[in-house]
Amino acid sequence: MKSFNAAIFDLDGTVIDSMYVWKKVDEDFLTQRGIPVTEEYTDKMRTMFFETAAAYTKETYSLDESVEEIMQVWLDMAHFEYANRVRSKPYAADYIRQLKNKGIKIGMATSNNPYLLMPCLENNNMLGLFDVICYTSEVGTNKSSPDIYIYTAKKMGEKPENCIVFEDIPEGIISASSAGMQTVAVYDPANEPYTDKLTEHSDIFIKSYIELLDSKEN
């Protein structure tokens, strides 16, 4: 890796092992309503805003529930998992602390929301590791656009070219790269089908943060 002044981390699938939660929520929500879960549905849901995903679900399946009601059901289903069961990825906290000890600014750029994020980070003793936490809802675009990464860099007082982004989805890697940022693709089982694409478009692909610990390149 080239030198960098700030590191921007995605949350789900990158810092924490939480992807099972949303798969479970999708399956439980649709199954309770007698609707089969399709690959097309889960694929579309991956990068949508929370509200957009709820609206898409309502329209696609002609549900009587309002968008707000759907979102609340999802949040209630996910909250317990995030607050009590979701754990950080192995060595993620160690690597972030390593960066902080070297004076690197630490930011988070996520499509999640504070209701789930904050208790999860607190439960994993990671809340104090991030200098800024930014949400895609603040910029009005999903991770197919580099806006969230540029916004997070700006909040840390850094130019994009001085930042490195850690992501588990191809859209995020490609967008961050387009903004001139270094990128590290982080393996997550939920994104196994996209491993080749992640490897192709990232500067580095890692299976575990242990690969970066005590590296002379950091």
CATH number for the domain spanning 191: value is 3.40.50.1000
Confidence band, pLDDT 50/70/90 cuts, at residue 218: very low
Higher pLDDT, residue 216 or 185: 185
Strand, coil or helix: what is 183?
Answer: strand
Per residue in 108-155, pLDDT (tens digit) is 999 998 999 999 999 999 999 999 999 999 999 989 999 999 999 999
Number of domains in the chain: 2
Q: Is the pLDDT of residue 10 over 80?
A: yes
Please indicate, yes or no, whether residues 141 and 198 belong to a single structural domain of this protein: yes
Please indicate, yes or no, whether residues 74 and 108 belong to a single structural domain of this protein: no
Does some domain include residue 216?
A: no
Of the three residues 46, 70, 85, the one that is the final residue of a domain is: 85
Burial of 198 (0-12, 13-18, 19+ CB in 10 A): buried
Q: Please compute the mean of the pLDDT values over residues 169-174 and round it to a whole number.
A: 96
**Alpha-carbon span 6 to 106, nearest angstrom:** 6
Q: Is the pLDDT of residue 56 over 70?
A: yes
Please indicate, yes or no, whether residues 67 and 121 belong to a single structural domain of this protein: no
Nearest to 55 by CA among 74, 78, 37: 74
Please indicate, yes or no, whether residues 96 and 29 belong to a single structural domain of this protein: no
Please indicate, yes or no, whether residues 93 and 141 belong to a single structural domain of this protein: yes
Please indicate, yes or no, whether residues 72 and 115 belong to a single structural domain of this protein: no
Does some domain include residue 53?
A: yes
**Alpha-carbon span 165 to 1, nearest angstrom:** 12
Please indicate, yes or no, whether residues 48 and 107 belong to a single structural domain of this protein: no
Please indicate, yes or no, whether residues 10 and 78 belong to a single structural domain of this protein: no
Please indicate, yes or no, whether residues 179 and 112 belong to a single structural domain of this protein: yes
Model-wide pTM > 0.95: no
Q: Percent of the chain, pLDDT > 70?
A: 98
Please indicate, yes or no, whether residues 100 and 58 belong to a single structural domain of this protein: no
Q: Given CA atoms 170, 176, 177, 178 in this order, what sign does their dihedral have?
A: positive
Of the three residues 37, 55, 85, the one that is the final residue of a domain is: 85
Q: Please compute the mean of the pLDDT values over residues 89-117 and round it to a whole number.
A: 96
Give the pLDDT of residue 39.
87
Print the domain residue range for 36: 19-85
Q: Please compute the mean of the pLDDT values over residues 187-194 and round it to a whole number.
A: 92
